[in-house]
Structure 1
Amino acid sequence: MTPTSDSTPHPAPSRPAPPTVEEARLTVPLVEDGQPLAAQVLAASGFDALVDEGVRRLSSAGSPDALTAAVREIAAGLWTAAVDRAQGRGAQGPLDLYDDRPLYWARTSLSAALRQLTSPHLTGQHQRYALLRLLDRRSRGIERDGDLWPDARADEVRVQVSGFDVFGLDTSVRHSNPSGAAALQLDGAVLETPYGAVRVRAVVLPVSYADFDQGVVEDAYGPVLQAGPDRADLITTISMTARGRMDVERWAADARGGTPDNLRDQHFGPVSRAARWPQPEPNPEWIETTLPHAAMVAAGTGPWPVVLKRGIQEWPAGASDPASLVAAPDPGPGSTPAAGTGGDYLSNESMYRSNRLRLALGATDVPGGHLHISALEYPEDPAVLGDDAFEADRRAVVDQTVALVRAAAAEVARRAQSKPRER
């Protein structure tokens, strides 16, 4: 018998996946019976239209290749829109340009839509999760098309930085993160210094142990630390610390702990080794900053004091009792780390991972470290996204962060004048 139609079996569409902890917060309001915070942020920034268009494109993709292409373009467009908005290009809505929250909540909204998508071209959960990863990495500026340093001149100092997503959302979904806001201000920026121009590349990291275990930090920094013409001249991770201080962290520790991440997950123990990237042997227990901290402190930025922070926690060499944990200014010989100067959370780990990779790739001439920046103070009225005082405070923190990146890069540029780097 000759079939009259295509009798080839086709796999059934993949079932929608349950929402993550982060995606479940999309419906959380600032106050009881209020509008969800995410919806307020998206409407006030014009990013609701980006989300709506992204969902439409996902739903209308006509083939597996078209679906993949849609995710790639949607994610890249979201990152570009966030950077453009932060830097005053085509901004919409009344939300302050220094606000980092539109990127986070738009990405989370699109992630939820993709996780729930029912499509004949989505035929396995492995395919869905591959697309979710693609959406995540490209919307963070980590995976991009084209040159790593577009339009850069050979004589420009090249700096890569990273900020973080918002976090602490179980305390309040209103939270902003000035380190993520600083990354959006810095991506693609050309900073002028007395010793020449500095070109900056920036990414925003997730607050997620699982993503760190999967190598998101190494994926972000690896391309600019490999030998060759695209190697950066300076790297620094950036995150938020306590109120009213700006700390250049002296020591990163091979230790993790701290509070739960954005998925309410906690990990304890040494930092995991990243797949696909080389690691130094032996694995370092401690990594000391090589940022030009003296120049950063001496730059006179404000409003907050800048210090090279010391003070770690360790088990002395040979200690086996958990109660033998001690605090010290600097690590002792043969000690086992419990916390670096920046603690034991993902801030410390971002410094440790990026600089462990820097050492493994032989980029010992590239200064690297971590900058902790001041936390924010929120309006007393719990029902508002922000007010003039809050926005001015965040701008002050972000502007000082940019000034500190400029000061560090200027010192690298000054040193390079006596010994230019070959590209």
Structure 2
Amino acid sequence: MRTVLRRLLTCGIVVGSLIAAAPLAFAQTTSRDCVDRTVPVTVSERRLDLAVPQEVLRRSGFDRFGPRFETLLCAVRTKQAASALVRAEGAGLWRSAVDRVQGRGPAGGDLTRADDRPLYWARLALTRALRQWKPGFTLPDADRARLINAMETSSRGQDSVSFPPGLKRVMVSGFDPFQLDGDIRRSNPSGATALALDGVIIKTPTGPAIVQTAMFPVLWGPFEAGMVERTFLAQMPKLTMFTTVSQGRVGRIDIERYNGRWHTGLDNDNETRATTIPIPAGIPTVTPQPEFVSTTLPHAKIVAATTGRFPVFDNTSVTEIPAGATTPVVSPTGPTPGSTARAGGGGSYLSNEIAYRTTLLRDALKLTTPGGHVHTPVLQFAPDNTTAITDPVFEQNRTDIVAQVKKIIEVSLA
């Protein structure tokens, strides 16, 4: 049933059925009538008009999603119809991205199927359309924000995670591209991994396991609002294992042993933080909130295994303010008693934060599920490529990273 629904969403049949079933909720109009291009958009959405994003969309065929969504959105006449449309189109975009990466259906262009960037830039086209939409009815700011949030979650696979009975259950997360002001061409191998592994069956000595994945933004606000916990909470008690994945250091993979409570840095909307990680009200947590939370992935087993071309490390280093001190120091063997976190093994950015939030949720639910964070190598272009959006070295690096993360999951399940 889930596969059938996915295909219906991808083909737009669900949206067409909605219009046929509720014609009074839709009208014939155009984007000229209902989109105000002067309405301010986010920093991330402003990058959409640059040459590289447009090339990514054109060469993947994902340039079709923005215009299609605007046309459908402009026909909407009620908030209920808008909500149904947003969820259908968001889920359809996610499924189209997964299908493209996994080789189902036409590629839609000459950009390699394994690329995660079409999903990222197409999503921004849809959220920008919602932000600039002028509906023919009253739409309070709070309702518009809920529509945008629904698009974010549905187009990231966050609200479609479900597991069939009888199989081991593995949940994996990936991230959007980031640091785009430094190089707008950037991809994120963790996002490519999430798209490549969603729904994939992995054989283990004790039976098959199915992987379900979700994507997350490189933005502080959604994390502080509980996006991570809401995605993982319902599934966590039933999981065989979970791992969050992000892009880390050059030329190596790290299994991050400790995740810290502190977060800092500039996100994709150029917002910054330098505070402790807040846990939203209503989310199960540990009291008092710990400064560090550790992985329960079988780190020694992973490091000892042959998983691929990149060396794999059990990273125990953290940055802390020791008990009684005021200055942060690096502790290479992990946190010392009574210290205050300033960075986990994965730093103090959103990579560390998603690991902190998921492993803290595991402990709050009193689970012993293997779970933690895998930091992939930086996905690099060929040394002489400073302008092209792809090249053979870049594509091989991504293929090798995705394959090695999959192998790490297989080793963990064994």
- Range class of TM-score, shorter chain: 0.7 to 0.9
2:371 aligned with 1:357, yes or no? no
Aligned partner (choices 279, 283, 287) of residue 285 of structure 2: 279
> How far apart, in 2, do the equivalents of 1:159 and 1:326 lie?
33
> How far apart, in 2, do the equivalents of 1:86 and 1:105 lie?
15
Aligned partner (choices 125, 145, 148) of residue 162 of structure 2: 148
2:128 aligned with 1:116, yes or no? no
> How far apart, in 1, do the equivalents of 2:306 and 2:147 lie?
45
> How far apart, in 2, do the equivalents of 1:97 and 1:192 lie?
24
Displacement over 4 Å in runs of 4+ = 13-17
Q: Is the 8 A contact 1:14 1:125 kept in 2?
A: no
Q: Is the 8 A contact 2:319 2:328 kept in 1?
A: no
Segment drifting more, 118-127 vs 195-204 = 118-127
Relative distance call for 1:125 and 1:14 in structure 2 (3 A) is: farther
> How far apart, in 2, do the equivalents of 1:248 and 1:121 lie?
51
Q: 1:414 maps to what in 2?
A: none
Q: AA paired with 1:249?
A: E
For residues 92-145 of structure 1, the C-alpha deviation after alignment (integer angstroms, 9 at most, x for no partner) is 21111110000000001111111111111352111111100000011111112x
Q: 2:314 maps to what in 1?
A: 308
SS of aligned partner of 1:256: strand
Give the deviation of 1:269 after TM superposition.
2.0
2:276 aligned with 1:270, yes or no? yes
Q: 1:64 maps to what in 2?
A: 79
TM-score for both structures, normalised by structure 1? 0.86
Give the deviation of 1:292 after TM superposition.
1.2
Task: Determine what percentage of the aligned residue pairs are the same residue.
Answer: 40
List gaps (5 residues or longer) in structure 2. Answer: 1-33
Give the deviation of 1:194 after TM superposition.
3.1
Q: AA paired with 2:381?
A: Y
Q: 1:419 maps to what in 2?
A: none
Q: Is the 8 A contact 2:322 2:338 kept in 1?
A: yes
For residues 303-330 of structure 1, the C-alpha deviation after alignment (integer angstroms, 9 at most, x for no partner) is 10112111111111122x3x35343421
> How far apart, in 2, do the equivalents of 1:290 and 1:383 lie?
41
2:46 aligned with 1:24, yes or no? yes
2:222 aligned with 1:211, yes or no? yes
Aligned residue pairs, count: 378
Relative distance call for 1:186 and 1:159 in structure 2 (3 A) is: same
Q: 1:245 maps to what in 2?
A: 252
> How far apart, in 2, do the equivalents of 1:307 and 1:126 lie?
45
SS of aligned partner of 1:400: helix
2:244 aligned with 1:234, yes or no? no
Q: Is the 8 A contact 2:65 2:126 kept in 1?
A: no
Q: Is the 8 A contact 1:14 1:123 kept in 2?
A: no
Q: Is the 8 A contact 1:241 1:372 kept in 2?
A: yes
> How far apart, in 2, do the equivalents of 1:14 and 1:123 lie?
14
Give the deviation of 1:195 after TM superposition.
3.0
2:404 aligned with 1:400, yes or no? yes
Q: 1:158 maps to what in 2?
A: 169
Relative distance call for 1:48 and 1:337 in structure 2 (3 A) is: same
> How far apart, in 2, do the equivalents of 1:325 and 1:161 lie?
32
Q: Is the 8 A contact 1:235 1:368 kept in 2?
A: yes
> How far apart, in 1, do the equivalents of 2:261 and 2:171 lie?
22
> How far apart, in 1, do the equivalents of 2:230 and 2:109 lie?
33
2:199 aligned with 1:191, yes or no? no
SS of aligned partner of 1:356: helix
Q: 1:81 maps to what in 2?
A: 96
Q: 1:102 maps to what in 2?
A: 118
> How far apart, in 2, do the equivalents of 1:300 and 1:14 lie?
53
> How far apart, in 1, do the equivalents of 2:330 and 2:386 lie?
40
> How far apart, in 2, do the equivalents of 1:306 and 1:327 lie?
20
Give the deviation of 1:299 after TM superposition.
2.5
For residues 268-308 of structure 1, the C-alpha deviation after alignment (integer angstroms, 9 at most, x for no partner) is 12111123311111211111111011222233011101121
Give the deviation of 1:17 after TM superposition.
4.5
2:382 aligned with 1:367, yes or no? no
Relative distance call for 1:306 and 1:328 in structure 2 (3 A) is: closer
Q: AA paired with 1:386?
A: T
For residues 337-390 of structure 1, the C-alpha deviation after alignment (integer angstroms, 9 at most, x for no partner) is 111111111111111001111111222x21111000011112433331101221
Q: AA paired with 1:123?
A: L
Q: 2:351 maps to what in 1?
A: 347
Q: Is the 8 A contact 1:67 1:121 kept in 2?
A: no
| Higher RCO (CA < 8 A, seq sep 6+) | 1
Q: Is the 8 A contact 2:328 2:342 kept in 1?
A: no
> How far apart, in 1, do the equivalents of 2:247 and 2:369 lie?
24
> How far apart, in 2, do the equivalents of 1:232 and 1:327 lie?
32
Relative distance call for 1:275 and 1:140 in structure 2 (3 A) is: farther
Q: AA paired with 1:85?
A: R
Give the deviation of 1:198 after TM superposition.
1.1
Q: AA paired with 2:248?
A: T
Segment drifting more, 305-314 vs 177-186 = 305-314
For residues 148-198 of structure 1, the C-alpha deviation after alignment (integer angstroms, 9 at most, x for no partner) is 11xx242x2111010100000010110000000000011111112333211
Aligned partner (choices 311, 334, 337) of residue 338 of structure 2: 334
> How far apart, in 1, do the equivalents of 2:56 and 2:63 lie?
8
